[in-house]
Amino acid sequence: MKKIHLIALLSLTLCAQALPQAGQPAGLRLGFVPLANPAADPAAVDKFHQTMNNALAWLPVQPGVTLVAPEAILEHLEEPLTPDFPDYFEPLSLARANLDLGMDGVLFCRLEKRMGRTVITARLLEFPSGVAAAANELGLPADSLPEVAALLAPLLERFAAGDSLTGHAFRPDEQGVVLLTGDLESEEYLEACRGFFTALHMDESRRPLRVKILPRDRVSPAGAEVCGFSRDLIASTNATWLFDLPPADRGARVRFALPLYPQPQRPVTEWTLPVYPQIDELACVELAADTLASRMINAALLEAPARPLAAAPEALWRQNPVLAFRAAWRAHQGLASANGPVKAALQSDCTTLYRLAGAGAGQKPLQAWSLLHLGALLNQSQRSSEAIEPLLEAETLFGPMANPAGLILSRRELAASYTERTEWPMARQTLNRLLNIPPDSLTQAFTLERIAQLYEKEGRTAEAVQAYHRTAWMNLAIGRPYESAMVYQRLGQLMRETGDLERSVAYLDTFLTQAGAMASEPALARAHFQMGLTRLARAERETALNHFLKAGDYLEMLGDHSGMARADLNIGAIYWQLGDTLKARQRYFAVINQAASSGDSVMVLMSAVNLADIHLTQKNYEQAQAFFDRALAIAQQARNSREQAKITYAKGLAYLKEGRLRTGYARIKEAMALGGGSVNGDPQKEQAFLDKLSLLIGDIENLRGAAPPRP
């Protein structure tokens, strides 16, 4: 989070004189604070104090400079003035102190070591913001005192010659503006302001609060209302919000304005909710300047507490829908880092606040955006059935407003709700309405791809292929070749899944050609891998092997260990099918090493089972059981009873091949128990096999004079 920079504009003539001409430090009310470093050489400290005494005599005689001694500042502070005070002071207390002191800035002079030299550093900080307006340093001579004018005069000149509005040029990280437009000689008004600021948590990043004191007449004409010029002032200061505390019957009221943020510089379909809407109603809001208002503003603008509804009752949020929307928006953002009961409570508050904002909104834009955000939140919370009603209402509101962004987002979220409910036709019809806006080309490409995916889910392959073709063409037309290539990848996969291997090869060949034209290693890796799968499905083992080998080379270039493991798993399978068990084992061992380094236990398990099977074909029974045990340990750790049953069954069959019939019988029986009565889905057949095995063992055992195993 960024530091907050608040600018307090006082109606009192604290420094009513016009800013001086460049080089003439007139009209400045400055504090002067010497900060000697106690770790420095005692002689240097003595000389530093003498120099500072000279400065105390020199400053007041400068034209237009009014000096405020350190003692006057200390009277209003609790914290001590240590050498590192300018870096770590708590500015809010200084802001309150300055309501009485009325200073423009503070000169901090410090004795310290710099590059092996003993130097006096001077920094002129705007009081009490902590913003450094100017800095200078002088070495401490061995035999004489430094010239005070050489140290301080350049700082005063730079400070006086700053920006005509604020005394310094605004910086990009300045975020807020505050106007205190009442009479600070009124104790009632002053106490109301102090109480309001005391209750506010202005620093959401736990960094010093930035406050600057200036007379109001240097910003706006006398009598001008904050809502009349707030946008220009916000624009000139890069402020995130603007506070105004005008006098009222009971002390003061607070009004604040929020800037209308520019829309994200990316297509609407790629916006990630929550998006802050562009609504005129957000220009200015007014509340009583009390602790309740402070709590609501903390929840909506500054602090974002864990439970925003604890800041004020629901009825008050309903009366202030702009604040309710902003508080919900901030809570919505906080959901990403929340979990457990905290997340559930935050979701509940956020949902309620969006509903209150929509119900209390005086303008349709705020109502529409509140409903849209509510629907998006419900979708994110897997409550798609509840999301449909507010999203339909938002869509209805956005239509007459000719707001394409809101309309696109509401229809996108509505389609997501229907998709979550597996209502594919309704989701597809909603997306088709997006194509009627008409949207921009990127939105069309996005929408056509979603429609194609929905046709897939409905099992309507022909329509899905047609929509995918339009998506690929649209992406190429708007300069998105990678996205177009990915569409052909999906077409190749779809044809393979539906058994049309010839068309799968054709689409994947187009994918491979486009990937080569882009010289995209990720796309080439994908293309060769997918082509390898299709060629393998066509029993074209040598061709598939070449594609998997090329995919592995690209994946190695990319450092994708998980992808390399998957390529090697297929390469090992092909070598095994071709009868080259040595190369197959080498590839499976490579899979285990790569998958283990990336934490992919599933790939380790599959490779271990394959290595066990290879050893079985070579009658290396002990090695086969060792690899089965490794795979079984992974399945047990993952608590995958189904996989445990399959591996235990394989172990039993391996024991039978070895001639250890009783042990094999026990493992197969154990596997059936792990699988809930069956391993392969045919319990009767498996039980019949066990019964025959029991009889066989009995016959053999009878010949040996031993009892058969119990069924």
| 246 belongs to a structural domain | yes
Task: Tell me the C-alpha distance between 504 and 534, whole Å.
Answer: 7
Instruction: Determine the pLDDT at residue 501.
Output: 94
pLDDT of 16 above 80: no
Burial of 271 (0-12, 13-18, 19+ CB in 10 A): middle
Question: Whole-model pTM?
Answer: 0.66
Same domain assignment for residues 29 and 151: yes
Instruction: Determine the pLDDT at residue 6.
Output: 35
To which residue do tokens 């705020």 refer? 366
Same domain assignment for residues 50 and 180: no
pLDDT of 426 above 90: yes
Same domain assignment for residues 219 and 95: no
Write the CB contacts of 507 (distance below 8 Å, at least 6 apart in sequence). 488, 489, 491, 492, 495
- When pLDDT is averaged across residues 499-524 and rounded to a whole number, the result is 92
Q: What percentage of the chain reaches a pLDDT higher than 90? A: 25
| 578 belongs to a structural domain | no
| 344 belongs to a structural domain | no
- When pLDDT is averaged across residues 593-606 and rounded to a whole number, the result is 81
To which residue do tokens 């002053």 refer? 190
Considering only residues 520 and 101, tell me which one the structure prediction assigns the higher pLDDT: 520
| 652 belongs to a structural domain | yes
Same domain assignment for residues 147 and 198: no
| 133 belongs to a structural domain | yes
Write the CB contacts of 337 (distance below 8 Å, at least 6 apart in sequence). none
Task: Tell me the C-alpha distance between 504 and 488, whole Å.
Answer: 9
Range of the domain at 182: 176-257
- When pLDDT is averaged across residues 552-569 and rounded to a whole number, the result is 89
Same domain assignment for residues 117 and 68: yes
To which residue do tokens 């486009």 refer? 514
For 582-610, what is the HEC assignment? HHHHHHHHHHHHHHHHHCCHHHHHHHHHH
- When pLDDT is averaged across residues 576-605 and rounded to a whole number, the result is 85
Q: Where does a domain end: 257, 282, 297?
A: 257
Instruction: Determine the pLDDT at residue 281.
Output: 52
Task: Tell me the C-alpha distance between 139 and 153, whole Å.
Answer: 16
| 646 belongs to a structural domain | yes
CA distances from 89 to 207, 208, 368, 527 (A): 10, 7, 45, 60
Same domain assignment for residues 137 and 189: no
Alpha-carbon torsion, ordered 156, 162, 166, 169, to 10 deg: -130
Cβ atoms 17, 218 nearer than 8 A: no
Instruction: Determine the pLDDT at residue 655.
Output: 83
Q: Where does a domain end: 213, 233, 257?
A: 257
Same domain assignment for residues 119 and 144: yes
Cβ atoms 251, 289 nearer than 8 A: yes
Domain count for the chain: 3
Q: What percentage of the chain reaches a pLDDT higher than 70? A: 79
Of 367, 346, 454, nearest in space to 375 by CA: 367
Same domain assignment for residues 39 and 141: yes
| 79 belongs to a structural domain | yes
pLDDT tens readout for residues 202-248: 654 443 344 443 445 445 555 555 556 666 666 666 666 677 777 78
| 153 belongs to a structural domain | yes
